[in-house]
């Protein structure tokens, strides 16, 4: 919801860098907490840990709502980031109560709900900002977290504690969180700071800490996060796939929305308004939810691998269509609404079911949380790649006061997304073929 208030915050605080931290702080905490909290849920009960995460997120929302100083609001947003641990915990709870035949459908329902919730959140956020005041967004977030706690207590049965360890791998969590945060921060802020030595140093430090953490976890008899799981073919390929499509195809709005709105005089784009761009995005999101649910239902009869192969082929066609024929408005809208967005959604929502089908039940939330971390890394790198692609060729108006990406820049980015989808196709084809007993799940 915070995205709809960004322009107001720029005006109120006059600090674009500080306001940008409202997004960055959330991202860093979300990525670091997903795998750690997921594993704690596996150990001590996912329902219990989910309630704790919601309580922490609620406190972060209230902190941002009750303070006007930007520093305190950023701190609250950072605390809110733990809410992203709810997704892997939810996957773990799903696996506790759903048989393997219906697992794909359950995962797709969660994914579709997540997509719809994000869209509804933007609408609610806009109404709050337009008719109340922007900090009301945080009161709404706190209220939703409180409602979620009550819902979990009332409707979700207590999770079984699948493992009780005498000694918890505390150091594994302590090393993992800062390593992820340092690398992501460097990647997110890199382009804005012209890749200053300080940021490169942070990325290098994060990579060193991550390497130390990996060696430590490999040697630990009972690691908090078992990196050996990534060595399983299906888990490794699923994570490589989510990384590949997170580099570009899943960042579609950052590509096709500027493209649709770019002035016609630049030689590419259609000059539509932001409202018209939103009108294009709404049916695309609706179809994405329908496609996610449909693919989940189909996974009971058709292997997930087959569904993902078809989706990857459709994504390749969509991005290639934009690269080859970027001058026809209705053709481009068709590619976006019917191929790029919905089929990209299918690739995204079915990936957790691949991971879940290849790991022990008592590692479900940990493994899917680690997939979220991989996706966060992919998005961070992908945003920088898109920025570089757009900067590769530019066009300016007569007096040079306004600059936009040129046609060649957009075509390069479209083609790169098609290539990433082709890599995704190769990875999905390389997945193990399902046995008859598991044909609907892998």
Looking at 223, 245, 269, which one is the last position of a domain? Answer: 223
How far apart CA 301 and CA 288 sit, in angstroms, is 21
| pLDDT at position 22 over 70 | yes
Do both 161 and 173 map to the same domain? no
* Residue pLDDT, tens place only, 330-363: 999 999 999 999 999 999 999 999 999 899 988 8
In the DSSP assignment, the letter for residue 250 is G
Do both 239 and 302 map to the same domain? yes
Percentage of the chain beyond pLDDT 70 is 93
Q: For the stretch 32-67, what's the b/e string if a residue is b when 16 or more beta carbons lie within 10 angstroms of its beta carbon?
A: bbbbbbbbbbbbbbbbbbbbbbbebbbbbbbbbbeb
Do both 127 and 255 map to the same domain? no
Tell me the pLDDT of the chain averaged across its residues. Answer: 87
| pLDDT at position 76 over 80 | yes
| pLDDT at position 167 over 70 | no
Question: Which token pair is 90?
Answer: 């939810």
- Among 112, 175, 52, 84, which residue's Cα sits nearest to residue 368? 84
Task: Collapse the DSSP code of 79 into the 3-class scheme (helix H, G, I; strand E, B; otherwise coil) and give the result.
Answer: helix
Looking at the DSSP bridge assignments, the partners of residue 396 are 403
How far apart CA 210 and CA 212 sit, in angstroms, is 5
Do both 173 and 157 map to the same domain? no
State the CATH number of the domain containing residue 9: 1.20.1250.20
Q: Please give the average per-residue pLDDT across 223-246, as a whole number.
A: 92
Do both 333 and 423 map to the same domain? yes
Percentage of the chain beyond pLDDT 90 is 48
Comparing 165 with 140, the larger pLDDT belongs to: 140
Q: What residues contact residue 394 under an 8 Å CB cut-off, 6+ apart? A: 403, 404, 405, 406, 409
Confidence of residue 157 (pLDDT cuts 50, 70, 90): very high
* pLDDT given at position 149: 97
How far apart CA 271 and CA 265 sit, in angstroms, is 9
Q: Please give the average per-residue pLDDT across 66-81, as a whole number.
A: 92
Confidence of residue 7 (pLDDT cuts 50, 70, 90): low
Do both 15 and 142 map to the same domain? yes
Q: What residues contact residue 73 under an 8 Å CB cut-off, 6+ apart? A: 22, 63, 64, 67, 138
* pLDDT given at position 87: 92
Confidence of residue 439 (pLDDT cuts 50, 70, 90): very low
Q: What residues contact residue 51 under an 8 Å CB cut-off, 6+ apart? A: 149, 152, 153
Do both 434 and 308 map to the same domain? yes
* Element housing 128 (H / E): helix 103-131
How far apart CA 25 and CA 70 sit, in angstroms, is 12
Q: Which domain holds residue 297?
A: 226-442
| pLDDT at position 207 over 80 | yes
Question: Which token pair is 71?
Answer: 């520093």
* Residue pLDDT, tens place only, 211-223: 999 999 998 888 8
Cα of first residue to Cα of last residue in the chain, in angstroms, is 35
Q: Please give the average per-residue pLDDT across 386-413, as a whole number.
A: 88
Do both 230 and 360 map to the same domain? yes
Residue pair 316/418 in contact (Cβ under 8 Å)? The answer is yes
Comparing 186 with 49, the larger pLDDT belongs to: 49
Q: Poorest-confidence range of 144-153, 188-197, 228-237, 259-268? A: 188-197
Q: Could you give the number of structural domains in the chain?
A: 3
| pLDDT at position 324 over 90 | yes
Do both 131 and 196 map to the same domain? no
* pLDDT given at position 438: 47
Do both 63 and 161 map to the same domain? yes
Do both 218 and 335 map to the same domain? no
Q: Poorest-confidence range of 173-177, 245-249, 315-319? A: 173-177
What is the DSSP track for 344-395?
HHHHHHHHHHHHHTTS-GGGHHHHHHHHHHHHHHHHHHHHHHHHHHHHTSEE
| pLDDT at position 436 over 60 | no
Please give the C-alpha separations between residue 373 and each of 79, 93, 243, 363, in angstroms, as whole numbers.
Answer: 17, 19, 10, 15
Do both 254 and 212 map to the same domain? no
| pLDDT at position 188 over 90 | no
Looking at 223, 239, 257, which one is the last position of a domain? Answer: 223
pTM of the model: 0.84
């Amino acid at each position: 919801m915070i995205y709809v208030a960004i322009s107001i915050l720029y005006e109120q605080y006059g600090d674009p860098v500080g306001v940008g931290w409202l997004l960055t702080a959330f991202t860093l905490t979300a990525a670091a907490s997903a795998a750690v909290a997921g594993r704690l849920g596996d150990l001590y009960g996912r329902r219990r840990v989910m309630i704790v995460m919601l309580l922490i997120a609620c406190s972060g929302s209230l902190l941002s709502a009750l303070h006007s100083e930007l520093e305190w609001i950023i701190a609250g947003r950072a605390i809110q980031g733990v809410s992203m641990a709810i997704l892997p915990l939810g996957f773990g709870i799903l696996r506790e109560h759903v048989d393997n035949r219906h697992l794909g459908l359950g995962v797709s329902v969660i994914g579709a709900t997540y997509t719809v919730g994000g869209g509804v959140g933007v609408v609610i956020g806009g109404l709050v900002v337009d008719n109340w005041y922007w900090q009301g967004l945080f009161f709404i977030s706190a209220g939703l977290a409180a409602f979620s706690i009550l819902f979990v207590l009332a409707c979700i049965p207590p999770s079984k504690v699948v493992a009780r360890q005498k000694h918890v791998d505390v150091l594994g969590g302590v090393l993992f969180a800062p390593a992820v945060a340092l690398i992501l921060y460097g990647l997110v802020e890199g382009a804005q700071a012209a890749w200053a030595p300080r940021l490169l140093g942070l990325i290098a430090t994060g990579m060193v800490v991550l390497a130390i953490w990996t060696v430590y976890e490999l040697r630990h008899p009972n690691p908090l996060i078992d990196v050996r799981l990534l060595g399983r073919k299906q888990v490794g390929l699923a994570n490589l796939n989510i990384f590949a499509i997170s580099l570009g195809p899943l960042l579609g709005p950052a590509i096709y929305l500027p493209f649709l709105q770019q002035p016609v005089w630049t030689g590419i784009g259609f000059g539509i308004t932001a409202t018209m761009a939103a009108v294009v995005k709404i049916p695309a999101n609706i179809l994405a939810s329908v496609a996610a649910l449909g693919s989940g239902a189909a996974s009971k009869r058709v292997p997930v691998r087959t569904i993902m192969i078809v989706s990857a082929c459709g994504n390749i066609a969509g991005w290639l269509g934009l690269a080859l024929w970027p001058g026809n408005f209705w053709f481009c809208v068709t590619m976006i609404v019917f191929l790029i967005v919905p089929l990209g959604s299918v690739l995204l929502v079915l990936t957790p079911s691949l991971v879940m089908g290849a790991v022990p039940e008592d590692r479900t939330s940990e493994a899917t949380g680690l997939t979220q971390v991989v996706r966060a890394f992919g998005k961070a790198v992908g945003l920088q790649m898109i920025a570089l692609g757009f900067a590769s060729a530019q066009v300016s108006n007569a007096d040079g006061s306004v600059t936009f990406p040129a046609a060649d820049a957009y075509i390069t980015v479209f083609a790169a997304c098609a290539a990433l989808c082709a890599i995704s196709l190769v990875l999905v084809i390389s997945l193990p073929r399902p046995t008859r007993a598991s044909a609907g799940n892998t």
